[in-house]
Amino acid sequence: MIYDIFYVSKKEIVDNEWKAFRQRFPSAQKIENVKTINDIKKKSFTKFFWLVWDDQEITEDFNFEYRVEKWDEKYIHTFKTQYKDKEYYRAGVCLVPKSSSISQKEFDFRFFINKKEIPTIVSKFKFTTYKKYYIDSYEDYLKICKQETQSLFWRIPSDIEIIDNSIFDLHFDPLDSIYDYDRSINHMFKNDNFYDGLMLASKDKVLMEKEFKYRFPIEKKEWDIVVSTPKPYDVVFISYNESNADVNYEKLKLKKPDAKRVHGVKGIHNAHIAAAKLAGTEMFWVVDADADLVDDFNFDIQYFPYYDAGNRLEQQSTVHVWFSQNPINDLVYGYGGVKLLPTKLTLEMDTASVDMTTSISEKFKVVDQISNISVFNVDEFSTWKSAFRECAKLASKIIDNNDNVETDDRLEIWVTTGKDRMYGDFAIAGATAGKAFAQQHWWNEEQMSKINDFDWLKTEFEKCPIALKK
C-alpha cells in the first residue's frame, strides 16, 4: 500500500499544476493555505504520509513506492531535491511519520531535525527563472502580485527595449539564506542612464500607485547594469499625392526601417490625427512627404525618466519643430521641418484651426537644428500651393508669439527670392497670392481655413496668371 500523498502549499495552488500532479498520482490529495503540520496530519489515514510542496517537480522515475524499514520508523525521511546544479536535502519531498513531533519553525523552514537523509534525487525546483510580465497599468500590477506563485516577478514596461536578455537568468537560490533580502525587495535596473525601466518586483514590497506611476520604489536595490533602453518614439511619414513621396519614404526607411506611413488622408488635420492613431508611443515624429532628411539628423531627443515628472510632462505636452531648408529661397526655419508631437493632444486637436501645428498645444518649441530640405518644388502646382499656404500664414500673423519683424522678413524673401531656382517663379507667384489672400481675409477664420483645402487651392491655382500662361 502506498502511503498518503499530500500536495501542499501555504497559498492557493495553481490549478493546472495540481491537475498535472494528480494525473501522475491519482491518489494524491491537495491541501491549500496550510499553516501547520497538523493541517496535514489530520487528513492522513496511513502510518506515514508523503509531503510534497507545490514548488517541487517529481522526477520521472520516482513513484512513491518507497517503504520505511522498521528501525527507521521514528525518522522523517528527507529526499534530495535539485536547484540548478545544487542538491539539497532540505525543502524537497519528505516521508513523515504521522506520530512525529515537528515544531512550527521546522515546518516553516522545511528543515527537519529528527530526520534520515535519503541520497536519491526525487524532485527538483520548478522555478529557476522568474516569470516575465509586460505591465503598464497599476491594476494589472496588483493583479500579478496576487496571482504570481513566486516571491519575485519581472515587470517589463512596454516602452523599453531589452538589450541584455541574460538578465532574465537571474534567480535567487530559494534555500540559500544569503539571498533572503534579495527575495524580499524590489530590484531596479538601468534603462540607459536611469533606473526607470526593468524591475524585478517583490510581492513582499507592493508598490503604492505613485511609486508605480513614477517608477521609483521607495525601498529598492539598484543594479548598475544597463539592461534596456527607452523605446524610440514612432516615426510616421505623411503623404497625399506628392510625386517624390515614395522616394523620400524609402530614404526615410534607411534611417528608420520601422517608419510607418499615412497616405491619402484628405485634410492636414485629419492626416495628422490618422498618424497619431497609428503611433504606439506617447509622442511621435512626423516627416512630411517632401522632406529630404539631412545625413546628420537622427531623431534624437533628450530622455527624461519617469521620476523626473516635471521635465517629462513638459516635454510630452510640447510640440517640437525642427528647422528645414527651403530649396528656392534658402530660408531656414520651422516651415516643412520634422515635428515631434504629443500623441494624445494630437488626437484631441481642434480640426477647425487654420494652423495645424500650433493648434495641438499651447507649448511650442523650435529646435535649432536642420532636419531636412523641404523639397516642395517638384511640379508647378505643388510649388505654388506650398508657397501660398505658408505666406498666407505669415501674412496673417496667425501664429501667436512669433517675432513680427522676423515674420515680415521671411515673407519678403518668399515673394522676391529664388526665381532662378526650379519652379522658382511659381513659388514667388504662390507666395504673392497667399500674402494678398491673407491681407484680405486675415480676420475671417472660415476664409483662412481654405488654405488647408487642396481642392480649393487647385482651383485658385488654375485661375492665377502664371498658370494661365502655361
Q: Per residue in 320-376, pLDDT tens?
A: 999 999 999 999 999 999 999 999 999 999 988 888 888 899 999 999 999 999 999
**CA–CA distance from 335 to each of 166, 291, 373 (Å)?**
46, 11, 10
What pairs with residue 90 in β-bridges?
Answer: none
**Cβ neighbourhood burial of 177 (10 Å; 0-12, 13-18, 19+):** exposed
Phi and psi at 142, nearest 5°, equal -65, -35
Q: Is the pLDDT of residue 208 over 90?
A: yes
Query: Average pLDDT for residues 303-309, to the nearest whole number?
Result: 97
Average pLDDT over residues 365-394: 96
* pLDDT, position 470: 61
Instruction: Report the pLDDT averaged over residues 43-58.
Output: 96
Q: Check whether 468 has a pLDDT greater than 80.
A: no
Residue 22 has which C-alpha cell? 494528480
- Mean pLDDT over each residue of the chain, to the nearest integer: 95
Burial (CB count <10 Å: 0-12, 13-18, 19+), residue 29: middle
> Residue 235 pLDDT more than 80?
yes
Stretch 48-65: mean pLDDT, rounded? 96
Q: What percent of the chain has pLDDT above 90?
A: 90
Q: What is the pLDDT of residue 129?
A: 96
Mean pLDDT of 394-406: 80
The predicted structure's pLDDT at residue 401:
62
Cell numbers given for 406: 522676423
Answer yes or no: is pLDDT of 400 > 70. Answer: no
Least confident stretch, 256-265, 351-360, 434-443: 351-360
Flag whether pLDDT at 191 surpasses 90: yes
Q: For 131-183, how does the pLDDT look when each residue is reduced to its tens digit (9 = 90+)?
A: 999 999 999 999 999 989 899 999 999 999 999 999 999 999 999 889 999 99
Q: SS3 for 286?
A: strand
Q: What does the pLDDT average to over 393-409?
A: 83
Which letter, b or e, does each residue of 41-72 get, where b requires 16 or more Cβ atoms within 10 Å of its Cβ?
beebeeebbbbbbbbbbbbeeeebebebeeee
